[in-house]
Amino acid sequence: MPDIYLDNNATTKVDPAVVDVMIPFFLEQYGNPSSIHKFADGVAKALKKARGQVQELIGAEHDSEIIFTSCGTESDSTAILSAIKAQPNRKEIITTTVEHAAILNLCENLEKEGYTIHRLPVDKCGRLNLDAYKKMLSDQVAIVSVMWANNETGTIFPVVEMAEMANSAGVMFHTDAVQAVGKIPMMLQDTKIDMLSISGHKLHAPKGIGVLYLRRGTRYRPLLRGGHQERGRRAGTENTASIVGLGKACEMAMEHMEYENVQVKAMRDKLEQGIIATVPHSFITGDLNNRLPNTTDIAFEYIEGEAILMLLNKAGIAASSGSACTSGSLEPSHVMRAMDIPYTAAHGTIRFSFSRYNTMSEVDEVLKVMPTIAATLRKLSPYWDSVTNEPVANPEAAFTPTFK
Amino acid sequence: MWDYSDKVKEHFFTPKNAGAVVGANAIGEVGSISCGDALRLTLKVNPETEIIEESGFQTFGCGSAIASSSVLTEIIKGMTIDEALKVTNQDIANELDGLPPEKMHCSVMGREALQAAVANYRGEEWKDDHEEGALICKCFAIDAVMIEEMIWANKLRTVEDVTNFTKAGGGCAACHEDIEAILEKVLAEKGEKFDATVSTAAVEKVETPAIAAVKTPLTNVQRIKKIEEVLTSLRPQLMADGGDVELVEVVGNTVYVNMTGACNGCQMAAMTIAGIQQRLMEVLGEFLRVVPASEMKKLVNIEGAGHA
Ligand SMILES: Cc1ncc(COP(=O)(O)O)c(C=O)c1O
Ligand code: FES
């Protein structure tokens, strides 16, 4: 059995069809799109086509609302920094406790500069409280930034409704839709969303290409000033090959939207139901009724995530524990803490994220090994009684380490 | 993910001595599930000889926590408890052919469990005096608590001070922003203000006798004397790290020194030399290059040629 890739929320394989359309822009049409000679002839046209393909996928009204950037993180930073620069009198930002580091760390930094950051909490299922949100909206708020879908649990937030509420209060609304674009349908022209971030590598385009959607008329200040590229809104010579690749990837995501929400979802559902049925003391985290079709995040109690990943990896299965970015630290993921998942489980959460490249037989393969992996590690755990094969009666009390 | 050594993988995939020892008379428990690591060490100690005859571990934690526990139980089996107490976390890490800096705390946990188990055997109470903070400097595995303590204890005021005292920040420099944030916090607690532009000189007075900066041109003898004076002032700091420095020769702008003890050949030598060079330049007010004497031969010729 070849290796099984179930870490598509971290990044995806570039679709071979995407690679194909990119190659001419490295080898033949490598001219600068601003130049006037035959090496650049087709480039401007190709960029325009790509812009249209992105526009189509997200349902933007104009193709000029699409600004190409270098990644999702840059789009996030551009959106927030633009909003506070364009409205210097507004010193508050509303976001959530479960955003990606691209938003959270930026906000933390702005806090040091004197901004007030309101971080909306989530409940045990990862849901936001819209009443609390409504109370925070005021003419002091420069921007609201709420992710469309959470990268760890796949939980989808009601951003369309939240954008309406912000708009009524006269507040700009940004959404980090890096995980949502290409997985669920959207029609931005029917919403009040002002800005939206996309990252190419989450939908089978290359890494290092992103998009900031900027609704026409939204007050804006560029992050990078310089040349006139992207109508002066993002200077720097265009990453032509990647832009063309992203366009193609968006077109393909559009074609596969139904497949993603039926077949991919069926694989995800089978995997998570199978695991819950065969591994005792495991449960699914997040809002089970509002989730991306490709993501499941499962908590295995009394064992630790990295150890699980190492055994999965040995079995040829790639998944991740928490977000790929946070698995380098020893803390349980901030998303699990925000949902108040007990510590006995929060350290042992594993995210399986699918793409259209996965198959049902891969699901069966994971289901074959997962119970053994959990049992192997539990045998080593001081919180597990290997005689009864149950957690020790009172884990916190049975294990009484010395505290300072 | 992590770049684990084969040794770590071996101990993770096929752990030795997993499970509790039946009839154990020394039990040590450290960490907690909320920290993300917990380790219970169970030993059977022969009361006559005080030799550890059996050891077992139960660990909740990552790959390196499990590997550290496993290797520890192997290391201490057959040792007397006094011998076992001499095992350091570095020994555990070495036995695993190294651990990533982010994971060194796993080896610390092993050592602590061992201390706790011995205390338990002797009927003493074991106190964990080790507090761990967020990892700040990945190059030298220094955490926030350590940096804070050093800032308090030694009245540090700049990133450079912190580097001199803890090594943190002396490698790739990526952690300087975080170190500045800690300085800002601690200095605010002390009612002072962090100023990124202030020089380190003010602090070094505390540690090293002040040496007046040179104003007038020096004769060769005066110059060498001055250099000696600077090296002498830095010596206590080096010796605290188990090293020493000795002036060998001065050729033009190049100062040749012998690094001995812990400094010799360790990854810190290059950094220490940079620190000495910095200090020499401050005092002598001219550009100087500090080079290990071991490189003298090849360099003297070049320098000599330059001066001829
Ligand atoms: C929700 C979310 N936002 C932002 C990013 C960052 O995107 P990029 O890696 O393109 O900067 C990611 C990907 O890790 C993500 O999952
Ligand atoms: S991380 Fe501190 S010097 Fe490299």
B159 and B52 belong to one structural domain = no
Phi/psi of residue A331, each to 5°? -70, 150
Structure tokens, A213: 């959607």
Integer CA distances (angstroms), A360 to A16, A251, A266, A324, A357, in order: 21, 25, 9, 24, 10
Contact A307 B32 (CB under 8 A): no
B16 and B91 belong to one structural domain = yes
B60 and B109 belong to one structural domain = yes
Complete domains list, chain A, with CATH: 16-255 (3.40.640.10), 257-398 (3.90.1150.10)
The overall pTM is greater than 0.90:
no
Which are the catalytic amino acids of A? 325
B18 and B103 belong to one structural domain = yes
Structure ipTM over 0.90, yes or no = no
Give the per-residue pLDDT at B1.
62
Cα torsion angle, A270, A271, A272, A275, sign: positive
**Segments in chain A below pLDDT 70:** 1, 322-331, 394-404
Ligand 1 centre and the CA of A339: distance in Å? 21
Considering the domain boundaries, does residue B212 fall inside one? no
Ligand nearest to the CA of B101: 2
**Residue-wise over A170-208: b if at least 16 C-beta within 10 A, else e?**
ebbbbbbbbbbbbbbebebeebbbbbbbbbbbbbbbbee
Structure tokens, A1: 């059995």
Least Cα separation, residue A200 to chain B (angstroms) = 22
Give the per-residue pLDDT at B207.
43
Considering the domain boundaries, does residue B293 fall inside one? yes
CATH number where B281 lies: 3.30.300.130
Containing structural domain, residue B20:
6-121
Name the closest-CA residue to atom 7, ligand 1: A72
Of A311, A383, A401, the CB nearest to B30: A401
Considering the domain boundaries, does residue B57 fall inside one? yes
Structure tokens, A73: 């993180």
On chain A, the residues whose CB falls within 8 A of the CB of B29 are: 382, 399-402
Give yes or no for a contact between A358 and A309, defined as CB atoms under 8 angstroms apart: no
Contact A347 B127 (CB under 8 A): no
Ligand 1 centre and the CA of B143: distance in Å? 27
From the CB of A174, is ligand 1 less than 6 Å away?
A: no
Domain boundary pick from B121, B155, B181: B121
Domain boundary pick from B65, B96, B121: B121
B255 and B287 belong to one structural domain = yes
CATH number where B149 lies: 1.10.10.1100
Considering the domain boundaries, does residue B248 fall inside one? yes
Give the per-residue pLDDT at B290.
83
Contact B59 A382 (CB under 8 A): yes
From the CB of B267, is ligand 2 less than 6 Å away?
A: no
From the CB of B175, is ligand 2 less than 6 Å away?
A: yes
Is A300 within 8 Å of chain B by CB?
no
Domain count, chain B: 3
From the CB of A42, is ligand 1 less than 6 Å away?
A: no
B163 and B229 belong to one structural domain = no
- Give the 3-state secondary structure of residue A236: coil
B255 and B193 belong to one structural domain = no
Ligand 1 centre and the CA of A201: distance in Å? 9
Give the per-residue pLDDT at A330.
58
Ligand 1 centre and the CA of B231: distance in Å? 50
Give the per-residue pLDDT at B46.
95
Considering the domain boundaries, does residue B197 fall inside one? yes
B285 and B198 belong to one structural domain = no
Considering the domain boundaries, does residue B307 fall inside one? no
What amino acid occupies position A58?
I
Give the per-residue pLDDT at B236.
75
Q: At what angle do helices B268-284 and B220-240 cross, to 10 degrees?
A: 140
Give the per-residue pLDDT at B210.
54
Give the per-residue pLDDT at A136.
97
Structure tokens, A59: 């349902």
Phi/psi of residue B252, each to 5°? 60, -125
B179 and B259 belong to one structural domain = no
B51 and B144 belong to one structural domain = no
Considering the domain boundaries, does residue B127 fall inside one? no
Ligand nearest to the CA of A351: 1
Task: Name the residue of chain B whose CA is nearest to A402's CA.
Answer: B30
What's the pLDDT tens digit per position in B91-136?
999 999 998 877 877 888 888 899 999 999 999 887 766 566 788 8
CATH number where B23 lies: 3.90.1010.10
Alpha-carbon dihedral B101, B158, A117, A348, rounded to 10 degrees: 10
Considering the domain boundaries, does residue B39 fall inside one? yes
C-alpha span between A335 and A96 (Å, rounded): 10
Is A340 within 8 Å of chain B by CB?
no
* Residue from B102, B104, B135, B139 whose mutation best tests the ligand 2 pocket (most atoms within 8 A of CB): B139
**Segments in chain B below pLDDT 50:** 201-209, 265-267, 299-308
Phi/psi of residue B95, each to 5°? -60, -25
B195 and B245 belong to one structural domain = no
Structure tokens, A372: 């053994």
C-alpha span between A258 and A263 (Å, rounded): 8
What's the pLDDT tens digit per position in B39-81?
999 999 999 999 999 999 999 888 889 999 999 999 999 999 9
Integer CA distances (angstroms), A240 to A77, A246, A280, in order: 22, 10, 50
B186 and B143 belong to one structural domain = yes
Phi/psi of residue A340, each to 5°? 65, 35
What's the pLDDT tens digit per position in A36-48?
888 888 899 999 9
